[in-house]
Amino acid sequence: MPVNIATYNPKQTPIHSVDARVKIILVLMFSIVLFCVHSWWAIGLLACIALLCAFLARLEVGATLRSMLPVVLILAVTLIANSFVLDVRSYDPTNLPSYVSTGVFAQLPAIPLIGAFGFVPAGFIRGCFFVLRIVLLLVASLVLTTTTTSNELTSALRSFMRPLERLGFPTHDVATVVSIALRFIPVSIDEFHRIREAQTARGASFDTGGIIGRLRAWTTVLIPLLVGLYRRADNLALAMDARCYGAGPASQLVVSRLGVGHIILLVVGIFGLATIAFFG
């Protein structure tokens, strides 16, 4: 059964010990800066930061690469769409968007391949830049999700929404919904693989036949999966109701406070990322 790397991986690392609120803010800032920079030196510096955090979090290289398989199609389409043109005669290297630095490749003409279809060196460099953006975004997300428990994430979310409590916003209910959703992700994945293996043992074929046949085969997995999820949700609602959820004010078992080291890390991280965004 495949391992879902997006779930929490308990280890003793410097990244694990950082407060969840600090990690969420820095990952959000990192994601914004990724789409603000336009130079290769800036994206290279961000790549060094992401790789350093991944090393400190002790992410496994093989598992990390396997987790990126679902987005390989997006990466391929991004690279191909920028690398080729349908009409090389209409390609003008002097009239290109300047939102990504392509260096000396910007002045190279398009290379005809088949008829009017051709390869664009500057577009290939620009596509590599966009692919690197997506990969770094995935790495930053993995560092966050593998080093932070679902309880820490929901506690951080509730802390961020605490000012809305004065307006009557049900912050505790929203945090509870997010916590339940995060906990149901690995359960749903496990249930999906179990049902698929059971249907395969009964003779269902998911990789052969036409499109209609494959869709009918997958319905034997998706329908039981949805029924099981609704059954779990109903049982959970009954359990929460039996424990008088919502009958009184919500309390929090552990109230985390930001230490001096976490505040310094947050300030230095925001200042450094903002500097890269400004000059990159």
- Give the integer Cα–Cα distance in Å for 120 and 88: 9
Q: What is the dihedral of CA 124, 129, 133, 139, to 10 degrees?
A: 90
- Kindly state the helix (H) or strand (E) to which residue 84 belongs, with its residue range: strand 84-85
194: its two tokens: 């179990």
Q: Give the strands of the sheet with 111-114, arranged side by side.
A: 84-85, 117-119, 111-114
| pLDDT in 10s for each residue of the chain, 280 residues | 344 445 677 888 888 888 888 999 999 999 999 988 888 889 999 999 999 999 998 888 887 777 777 788 888 888 888 888 777 777 666 665 666 766 666 677 777 888 778 888 888 888 888 899 999 999 998 898 888 887 788 888 888 888 887 887 777 778 778 778 777 877 888 888 888 888 888 877 777 777 777 778 888 888 888 888 888 888 888 888 888 777 666 665 555 677 888 889 899 999 999 999 888 7
Pair 34, 133: CB distance under 8 Å: yes
- Give the integer Cα–Cα distance in Å for 255 and 186: 26
Q: What was the pLDDT predicted at 2?
A: 42
pTM: 0.76
Concatenate the DSSP letters of all residues of 121-180 into one string. Answer: HHHHHHHHHHHHHHHHHHHHHHHHHHSS-HHHHHHHHHHHHGGGGGGT--HHHHHHHHHH
- Give the integer Cα–Cα distance in Å for 119 and 84: 5
